[in-house]
Structure 1
Amino acid sequence: MSTSSNAPLVAPAASQALPGDLAMWIFILAELAAFTLFIIAFSVTQMLYPEMFQAGRAELDPSTGFAMTVGLLSSGFLAALAVERVRVNQARQAAVLLIAAIASAMVYVVLKLSEYTHLAQAGFDLEYNMFFTLYWLVTLFHFLHVWLGLLVLAFLAWRCWRLGFTADNRSGMESGVMYWHMIDLAWVIIFPLVYLLG
């Protein structure tokens, strides 16, 4: 009947915590709720006007949407690698990875601006029909978030280059990259909904 005093068996598990700040998690959940409302509105309207949505979708190029998806997901992967570099006190390497993440995301930005220009010149503007009203609202809402996310990544890269993040002080880095992952997640849902399904 040995009463063991080896109590610290549970201690390592207790140190596991969510990355980033709680405030950022709350902000991300609020943003995801807004995206969800847009997605529900698009889905419900598509059920009401299936022919209109099929015709509208035919004016979009799925290969362009796929290329934008690859650009954003590659950017998210590079940003995740940057967080891992900070966790082992290699902030300068993290800065380089974040710059690469920004460059990858610019593929999305350039292609989306090209798509917007093409659609506007063809007359498919916000008032053309319900499909294009929702197309512009949903994708512009996401596009603005991408721009904000790029500013966040640029700030994180600057902080990393100045060694502003370390393994023991990385909450801001994790929070910023989590926001970028939220933008990726939203696009992964928007892309098939707008360009493929129907």
Structure 2
Amino acid sequence: MPAAARPAPRLPGDVFIWYVILLEGATFCVLFGAFAFTRVRHLELFNAAQQQLDLSAGAINTALLLTASWCVARAVLAVRGGTRGTALGWLAAGMAGGAGFVGLKLKEYGDKFDQGIGLGQDNLFFDFYFILTGFHLLHVLAGLLALGLVGVGLMRQRRDALNGHALETAAAFWHLVDLLWLVLFPSSTSCGDCDETEAA
């Protein structure tokens, strides 16, 4: 395509959502930094506590979020192609992945509470664990709400005049949720010095 005919590059969705994304990203960076700083000062405690996490559940949650994001991206492409039914199907699949993440995360919390592990139990690792994952879970719920509202809006639009702006906006936020988890999951479960700690 000639350069003159190419559409000008643009950020998908509403510009406001990108300010939200930057703000939320900066907030999580501060939290991740505090987690890393505290871990260095309490390495043995963090390594021991990390052994109590269910890595398989975290891996399944990662797969659920990645799949959900892929489905949401397919929904955006479907709207751009003018196929509302396909877009709604992909959107529903993405929301199902997100709902699966919520259900599994709540089960993890329940298992921890049954073991007597909770927030404010004089364990800095689990304080960070519940704060970071809980804050992320709130973002997942907000993302699901946004996707649901967008889906309702799509159903009300005329088939021959689909507008994907709202869906692109919600999708941008949803991809932030996905990205945050990709940083959060390995940082909260990595235990590179566990062998050395256990041998000491």
How big is each residue's C-alpha offset from its partner over 1:115-171, in whole Å with a ceiling of 9 and x where there is no partner? 101111211111121101111110000001111111111111112222369777322
The corresponding residue for 1:32 is 25
Matches of 1:194 and 1:87, distance apart in 2: 38
In structure 1, runs of 5+ residues without a counterpart are: 1-8
> Stretches of 4+ moved more than 6 A in 1?
164-168
Matches of 2:49 and 2:160, distance apart in 1: 49
Matches of 1:56 and 1:154, distance apart in 2: 37
The corresponding residue for 2:64 is 71
The corresponding residue for 1:170 is 164
Aligned partner letter, 1:112: K
The corresponding residue for 2:54 is 61
The corresponding residue for 1:150 is 144
The corresponding residue for 2:92 is 99
The corresponding residue for 1:82 is 75
Q: CA deviation at 1:172?
A: 1.4
In the alignment, which of 159, 165, 173 is matched to residue 179 of structure 1?
173
In structure 2, runs of 5+ residues without a counterpart are: 193-200
TM-score (norm 2): 0.89
CA contact (8 A) 1:96 1:157 kept: no
Q: From the superposition, tell whether residues 23 and 167 of structure 1 become closer, same or farther in structure 2 (CA, over 3 Å).
A: farther
CA contact (8 A) 1:87 1:167 kept: no
Q: Quick check: which has more Rg, 1 or 2?
A: 1
Q: CA deviation at 1:14?
A: 5.1
Alignment partner of 1:138 is 2:143: no
CA contact (8 A) 1:72 1:104 kept: yes
CA contact (8 A) 1:86 1:165 kept: no
Q: CA deviation at 1:13?
A: 3.8
Aligned partner letter, 2:185: F
The corresponding residue for 1:6 is none
Matches of 2:131 and 2:160, distance apart in 1: 39
Q: CA deviation at 1:10?
A: 3.9
The corresponding residue for 1:122 is 115
The corresponding residue for 2:196 is none
Percentage identity across aligned positions?
Answer: 35
Name the SS of the counterpart of 2:168 in structure 1. Answer: helix
Matches of 1:105 and 1:44, distance apart in 2: 31
The corresponding residue for 2:195 is none
Range that drifts further, 67-76 or 19-28: 19-28
Cα-Cα RMSD: 1.7
Aligned counterparts, 1:6-21, within 5 A: 10-13=3-6, 15-21=8-14
Matches of 1:182 and 1:160, distance apart in 2: 22
In the alignment, which of 155, 162, 183 is matched to residue 189 of structure 1?
183
Aligned partner letter, 1:156: V
